[in-house]
Structure formats: structure tokens, C-alpha cells
Amino acid sequence: MKIGVYGGTFNPVHSGHVKLAEAYLKGLELDRMLVIPAKTPPHKRVAHLASGADRLAMCRLAFPGTEYEVSDLELNRPGEKSYTVDTLEELNRRYPGQELYLLTGSDMFLTLDQWHESQRIFQLAVMCVGEREPHLQERLKTKARELEALGARCRVVQLEPLVVSSTQVRDRVERGEPLTGLVPPQVEQYIQAHGLYGNGDTSGPF
């Protein structure tokens, strides 16, 4: 079985994430995909970080299909940081003998060799990246060759760009603007119902 491992902050999950997951399922012929919200974003400070429970709930609404499993594995792990290597070790124990495919964005793929225990990551999973910016394609291919020289297995998947980010979604909520087309409708309803991202709140960004 081929299992995709899709981590992110998902603050909130948006239609770009859903489209990316669909492209990976098809492009890599995956049997399943694990969607794993991170506890704290390792490299960035985020205004309005919704609780783990809210981010999990929104991911479950955005990924209802049986091929997806939204996992609280990182949110429930003790400790402040979520290391990808720990997640992959855990999945390797849970799914022995299955092939794991780590799905990364281009920004992350370009720095993979600097990640904590990158050599072990390369043993545990196939490194996958979606090409969405045409000007990055050559850089990603060159990087894939570099990583392969270090022992990684790499796959580059073609993507149709969908210009949306969680930052944009949070900004629109704060300004009271509609989210039509940017997040699945059930996620928009959840954000409104739970008053997330400063939706009508004046308590400041953190």
C-alpha cells in the first residue's frame, strides 16, 4: 500500500490544500493519505493560531473521503516541536511494510537536506514535491537530483496552481470578507460558527 503523509499547519485548511491532496493521490497513485496538522509551526510565528481541536475538525470537514485519514498524531505528541522524523518513525511502526510518501511544498522541499535527521527521513519515506510555480521547476529538479545523491528517493508531481494561502484566508475573515471558493463551504461555516480568526473579536492577534 502507498500512503501519503501530508503535514501542515492547516490554519485553516483551504481549497489549495484539498487540490494539492487530490493531485498527489492521482499523480502518485496513492492508496491512502494521512493529513496531519502540526502542533506548532516549526519555522514561523502565526497570528491567530486556531486550537489543535479546531484545526483537526476543519481538516475532517475538508477531507471527508474514505481515502483520507485526518490524524492527531502530532497534536497529541508530548513536547513543543513536531519533528517529521518522529512522525515517520511512528507511521513506520503503525504501517510496517507499507510505502510512505512525504508530501512537501516547494519551499520545504528545497531545504529537506537541512532537516533534523534528514538521512533517516530519506530512508523512511519517498520525498514528493508539487510543482506549482513554473519558474521553480528547474530548481526543484536540480534539488531532487542533489537529494538523490544523498540517498533520497524523490518524486516531482505536476500541479495546477491555485492561488490561496491560510494567511489570505485569515486576513479575509478578519476583514469580514467572504471566503467563497477559497475554503470548502463546510470549513467557512465552521469558522463562522466558532468565531475563529478574529471573526468579530477585538482581543488582538495572539
Residues that bind ligand ATP (CB under 6 A): 8-11, 16-17, 20, 46, 104-105, 107-108, 130, 132, 162, 164-167
Which is closer to ligand ATP, CB of 14 or CB of 124?
Answer: 14
Q: Are 99 and 3 in contact (CB under 8 A)?
A: yes
Query: Least Å distance between CB 153 and ligand ATP?
Result: 18
Could you tell me the smallest distance in angstroms from the CB atom of residue 10 to ligand ATP? 5
Other Cβ atoms less than 10 A from the Cβ of 153: the count is 15
User: Distance between CA atoms of 39 and 50, rounded to whole angstroms?
Assistant: 10
Contact 75, 52 (CB under 8 A): yes
Nearer to ligand ATP, 116 or 149 (CB): 116
Tell me how far, at minimum, the Cβ of 104 lies from ligand ATP, in Å.
Answer: 5
Other beta carbons less than 10 A from residue 124's beta carbon: 18
Q: How far is the CB of 132 from ligand ATP (least distance, A)?
A: 6
Q: Which strand (E) or helix (H) includes residue 163?
A: none
Cell numbers linked to 70: 485526518
Q: Which is nearer to ligand ATP, 37 or 124 (CB)?
A: 37
